[in-house]
Amino acid sequence: MKKSWLRDYIIKRLFYSVIIAWGILTITFVLVRAGPTSPADKYLANIAASGQDVSQVIASVEARYGVDKPILEQYADYMVNLFHGNWGWSFSTSMPVTELIKSHWIYSFQLILLSSLFAAILGILIGIYSAVKQYTKTDYIATFLSFIGISIPNFWLGVMLILVFSVKLGLFKTYYDTTLPLFSLANLHALILPIITLGTGMLAGYVRYTRSAMLDNLRKGFVTTARAKGLPERTVIGKHVFRNALLPLVTIIMFDLGSIVFGGAYLTEIVFGIPGLGQISFNAIFANDYPVVIAVTLIGTLLVLLVNLVTDITYTYLDPRIRYD
Amino acid sequence: MKKFETFVALPLILAILATGCANSEVEQAEGIFIEGQSGADAETLNWILAADATSSSYVGHTMDRLVTYDNELNIVLHCLARDIETSADGLVYTITIRDDLKWSNGSPVTAEDYVYTLKNLMFSDWLNYNYKGDWQEEVDGDTIFVTPEAINDTTFTITRQTVYPEFVYTIYDLMPYPKHIATKYEGDIEAFTQAPEFNNLTYTGNLGPYRFEEWTRNDKYVVERNPEYYLGKDIGAPYFDKYIVKLFGTSATRQAALEAGDITYTGIEPEQARKFRNLEHVKVYTIPSGACTLLAYNQRANGWDGLKKKPVRQALSMAISKETICQSILLGFAEPAFSFIPASSPWYDGENVVKYGVGSLYDKQKAAELLYQEGYGAIKGDETIKATNEDGSPLKLTLATSTGSQVSEDMAFQIKHELSDLGIEVEIKLIPWATLLRQYVMNTVPDANQQPAFNNGPEAASEKPWDLILMGFTSDLLAPSGSDVFYTTEGGLNFFGYSSAEVDKLFSRARSKEALDKGMRQQIYAELSHAISEEQPVDFLIFSRVNSGFQKNVMGIEPGISMGYNYYLWHFE
């Protein structure tokens, strides 16, 4: 029975996702193209900076960038190409957009995945420990450190980590080395500082949320009942309290995942020289490289929609009482 | 609870273990030269389409131009067999290339490749080369291209119809495309733009010290040693197995990488120079550059009226201390500028320039008096002069500059501070470079249906009004007459609307047959420098000096203005 309504729900959500993605793609296209600057501007500015009169070449450069046609015609061309799997040519990097994304997504993916795991695992464990040991020295220290963790800008933290652990102690390279094999200890080693940089803020947040959610549940009657029944403390905490505290945590973790996909990872990529999608999209925005801007916006949108769907589905497993009409 | 603690500590233990395991793999950098750069990555390796300097520098590792210049700016032959011969009338240039230059398929690089590149690519309508203006001349009111012609396999000529003594420097920079590949894409700009041979530099043969290996966008550009390099094969050069350009998102991390020994070379910011000089493993070289920062005065209709008058421009320049900018903002790594020709150019004449903004010509009292004499000042109760508009109202000026440079922002605020002493209120606008160009620099005649350009004639004005624009330009040290585009009445980049019959005439003489005689050209440049420094169409503020930091074990470097000219001979100790 559950399977049937859940399947219908997923199909409906996927359908809505396609509509939303198309809407965002269209809005992005219009915003990028209708702005005060032209995608050819940076290119023309470079020509001008070298002392050349650009008036002779403006028309041909705009034709090469495909911005000489009416915007509706450009949009129609873009959509037709998109349906044929052609995301366009990136003028700021001189390669097809699909190839650009294919060769760079993995750097963002590994950073986001490992940082999220680092933050979620450590944050939840410290949060649980802190709640269970409420008002002890450990709890005070964890609470104090989590406030600091939330407050530190990750850009600053990254630079400080480099100065201490790379420059002073020589334990890490100052930048991420893309020649390292992905599934190797050397790669994991190279990612330690970026993971700490990106994960610290999230980790601190998870400590606070977990502690708070655990304390809420620890005070509830069913905990007293479980203890009165003589259940071992580990079972009470792990099976009864933590499971109930998990629902709001899943929401927060998934929300964080969505937000770092859209920007949080960018600063970490910049500091450690990781050529991920964050850096690619940021540079594309500054270069007015609209095929890349639209593609990464679309990918980000799809990821957020997917994460939201997965979150909703996860709820139904964590709390079987939840049902979507 | 012990298990909780163990579990929390596990990732940290793993991380420390990973640290220990990985160190041995990271330390294998012998023979690899790593240059650290921050800023935008290159746009393309298909160099004829490139508009950015990074693209050209990437390609430069794999292909030489006809010549390069040493630190005294003498030419050093590269692809040329001997120096270019110029006919007595200054119209025909005979270029003879080496006979041992080869493409990757083993076929020789011929004069025909160069001629084809010029005629069929650079001069073509379908490609519309960005810098085609360098190869054009005005003849009887028409703009025409020069005429290239192959004489034999290694010799070709370029014929002009008008004399331009410094045209030879344009030829020196020439690079060829392989005709046998380029013909496949001729006429189809999309196919040419996406041609894999040109985007992966698979054709460069023995033309450069390195061969293309890999380009990871926004990360690194890697070239490997070219054992066939025509200048190095007999001596085993170049001496690095690989040359890597590594991009950094910030200058702080780029400099940290040099300090940690992770990279071999990078530029050092002025505020970090002292620290790096004190590091044992780093050597810092400070060299002059042709990078000039100037303050343009808007003499067009939408600028403040006073700026059209020479004494007013002189007064403003007299109120801005160049030494303060050099010392306080650039910490001594700059020198005051007085004309468009830098002191490091062989054409510079320090005795003839008028030095506004230093010594006795940095004088706010005199500046105020000049403004008062021109009708732009009022005497206050304490007998001091305050700058005003002609009607006595408070004078407010708009200063626009581009975002992204702390030095430019600091300079803008310094100028605001200096001019406030005259009673002028300066509003600073920080604008992205491309927007600054489109809205403030490019201009059109009001109500005329014309394409915006940098100089659409004396009646044209920019979309947004401005009075002062702070921006940087690079002067050509060897061919300063190319700066006519900025300072002549019809110059294509004269966006500030300056016009002087005397300056127009002097630039015209510098580009004429008369200037074929170097002594005469020197004299013309001296007169030109004097005229422009006296007229102050812009306030030339500073020429920057550049700090380059190298690991101390890099040998063979000859510090100077053209430090990289022999970089294929650099090696590790």
- Report percent pLDDT > 90 for chain B: 82
- Report percent pLDDT > 70 for chain A: 95
Residue A240 DSSP label:
I
A93·B189 Cβ contact <8 A: no
Residue type, B122: M
**B377 Cβ partners below 8 Å, 6+ apart?**
B368, B369, B371, B385, B386, B387, B388, B423
Mean pLDDT of B502-524: 95
Q: Shortest CB distance from B199 goes to which of A94, A171, A271? A: A94
Residue of B nearest to A94 (CA): B44
Taking a C-beta distance cutoff of 8 angstroms, is the pair A283, B40 a contact?
yes
How close A269 gets to chain B, by Cα (Å)?
8
Residue B111 vs residue B17, higher pLDDT: B111
- Strands B385-387 and B220-225, how do they pair? unpaired
How close A242 gets to chain B, by Cα (Å)?
14
A134 pLDDT higher than 70:
yes
Q: What is the mean pLDDT of chain A?
A: 87
B441 contact residues in A (CB cutoff 8 A): 48
B13 pLDDT higher than 60:
no
Q: Is 0.80 surpassed by the pTM of this model?
A: yes
A42·B45 Cβ contact <8 A: no
Residue with tokens 């929390």: B8
Among candidates A160, A125, A115, A117, which has minimal Cα distance to A146? A125
Mean pLDDT of B78-95: 96
Mean pLDDT of B530-550: 96
Mean pLDDT of A110-131: 94
CA pair distance B219, B217, nearest whole angstrom: 5
Residue B392 DSSP label:
S
Residue type, B383: E
- pLDDT of amino acid B310: 97
Q: For A190, how many CA atoms within 13 A lie in the half-sphere containing its CB?
A: 26
Give the residue from A32, A38, A46 with the most B CB atoms within 10 Å of its CB, the best one to mutate: A46
- pLDDT of amino acid A154: 87
Mean pLDDT of B475-493: 91
For A145, the enclosing helix (H) or strand (E) is helix A137-151
Residues B420-454 have pLDDT tens digits of 999 999 999 999 887 888 899 989 999 888 878 88
How close A241 gets to chain B, by Cα (Å)?
16
Residue of A nearest to B16 (CA): A189
B10 pLDDT higher than 50:
no
**ipTM reported for the complex, 2 dp:** 0.84
B249·A269 Cβ contact <8 A: yes
A214 contact residues in B (CB cutoff 8 A): none
Residues listed for chain A: 325
Range with the poorest average pLDDT among B1-10, B205-214, B329-338, B489-498: B1-10
A166·B256 Cβ contact <8 A: yes
- pLDDT of amino acid A289: 86
Angle at the Cα of B188 from the Cα atoms of B183 and B189, rounded to 5 degrees: 110
A102 pLDDT higher than 70:
yes
**A162 Cβ partners below 8 Å, 6+ apart?**
A172, A174, A193, A271, A272, B253, B256
A94·B132 Cβ contact <8 A: no
Band (B475; pLDDT cuts 50, 70, 90): confident
Which pair of tokens denotes residue A204? 């601190």
Range with the poorest average pLDDT among A60-64, B68-72, B429-433: A60-64
Chain A stretch 218-277, residues whose beta carbon is closer than 8 A to a beta carbon of chain B: 269-273, 275
Residue of A nearest to B2 (CA): A129
B130·A52 Cβ contact <8 A: yes
- pLDDT of amino acid A31: 86
A178 contact residues in B (CB cutoff 8 A): 216, 219-220
B248 contact residues in A (CB cutoff 8 A): 175, 273
Q: How many CB atoms lie within 10 A of CB B508?
A: 15
Mean pLDDT of A230-234: 88
Chain A stretch 84-123, residues whose beta carbon is closer than 8 A to a beta carbon of chain B: 89, 91-95, 100, 103-104, 118, 121-122
Band (A325; pLDDT cuts 50, 70, 90): low
Taking a C-beta distance cutoff of 8 angstroms, is the pair A290, A39 a contact?
yes
B41 contact residues in A (CB cutoff 8 A): 92-93, 283
Is the CB of residue A139 less than 8 Å away from at least one CB of chain B?
A: no
Residues A77-94 have pLDDT tens digits of 989 999 898 998 898 888
- pLDDT of amino acid B417: 97
B197 pLDDT higher than 70:
yes
Mean pLDDT of A243-266: 79
Q: What is the mean pLDDT of chain B?
A: 91
Range with the poorest average pLDDT among B8-22, B314-328, B514-528: B8-22
B29 pLDDT higher than 70:
no
- pLDDT of amino acid B382: 81
A36·B438 Cβ contact <8 A: yes
Among candidates A107, A63, A21, which has minimal Cα distance to B219? A107
B22 pLDDT higher than 50:
no
Mean pLDDT of B545-550: 95
B1 contact residues in A (CB cutoff 8 A): 129, 132-133
B492 pLDDT higher than 90:
no
Backbone angles phi, psi at B46, to 5 degrees: -80, 85
B193 contact residues in A (CB cutoff 8 A): 64, 89, 94
The partner residues of B96 in beta bridges, in order of sequence, read B155
CA pair distance A278, A106, nearest whole angstrom: 11
Q: Shortest CB distance from B256 goes to which of A132, A162, A279? A: A162
Taking a C-beta distance cutoff of 8 angstroms, is the pair B389, B395 a contact?
yes
Among candidates A271, A47, A93, which has minimal Cα distance to B221? A93
Backbone angles phi, psi at A198, to 5 degrees: -75, -30
Which pair of tokens denotes residue A287? 């270069």
The partner residues of B247 in beta bridges, in order of sequence, read B37
Taking a C-beta distance cutoff of 8 angstroms, is the pair B289, B312 a contact?
no
CA pair distance B410, B377, nearest whole angstrom: 27
B18 pLDDT higher than 50:
no
CA pair distance B511, B413, nearest whole angstrom: 38
A46·B51 Cβ contact <8 A: yes
B453·A54 Cβ contact <8 A: yes
A36 pLDDT higher than 80:
no
B1·A133 Cβ contact <8 A: yes
B480 contact residues in A (CB cutoff 8 A): none
Chain A stretch 306-325, residues whose beta carbon is closer than 8 A to a beta carbon of chain B: none
Mean pLDDT of A319-323: 77
- Report percent pLDDT > 70 for chain B: 95
Residue A40 vs residue B221, higher pLDDT: B221
B14 pLDDT higher than 50:
no
Band (B17; pLDDT cuts 50, 70, 90): very low
Taking a C-beta distance cutoff of 8 angstroms, is the pair B504, B510 a contact?
no
A234 pLDDT higher than 90:
no
- pLDDT of amino acid B6: 40
Residues B261-302 have pLDDT tens digits of 999 999 999 999 999 999 999 999 999 988 899 999 999 999
Mean pLDDT of A145-161: 92
B558 pLDDT higher than 50:
yes
Backbone angles phi, psi at B212, to 5 degrees: -65, 135
Residues B369-425 have pLDDT tens digits of 999 999 999 988 888 899 999 999 999 999 999 987 888 999 999 999 999 999 999
CA pair distance B395, B393, nearest whole angstrom: 6
Q: Shortest CB distance from A275 goes to which of B22, B193, B217? A: B217
**A9 Cβ partners below 8 Å, 6+ apart?**
A312, A324
B218 contact residues in A (CB cutoff 8 A): 93, 104, 275, 279-280, 283
- Report percent pLDDT > 90 for chain A: 45
- pLDDT of amino acid A262: 59
Is the CB of residue A285 less than 8 Å away from at least one CB of chain B?
A: no
- pLDDT of amino acid B452: 81
How close B496 gets to chain A, by Cα (Å)?
14
Q: For B267, how many CA atoms within 13 A lie in the half-sphere containing its CB?
A: 16
Query: Which contacts (CB < 8 Å, 24+ apart) does range B124-131 have?
Result: B124/B186, B126/B186, B126/B187, B126/B188, B126/B189, B127/B48, B127/B189, B127/B192, B128/A56, B128/A57, B128/A60, B128/A61, B129/B48, B130/A47, B130/A52, B130/A57, B130/A61, B130/B49, B130/B51, B131/A47, B131/A50, B131/A52
B248·A175 Cβ contact <8 A: yes
Residue B64 vs residue B39, higher pLDDT: B64
SS3 per residue for A70-129 = CHHHHHHHHHHHHHCCCCCEECCCCEEHHHHHHHHHHHHHHHHHHHHHHHHHHHHHHHHH
B184 pLDDT higher than 60:
yes
- Residue B207, sorted as left (phi over 0), alpha (psi -120 to 50) or beta, turns out to be alpha
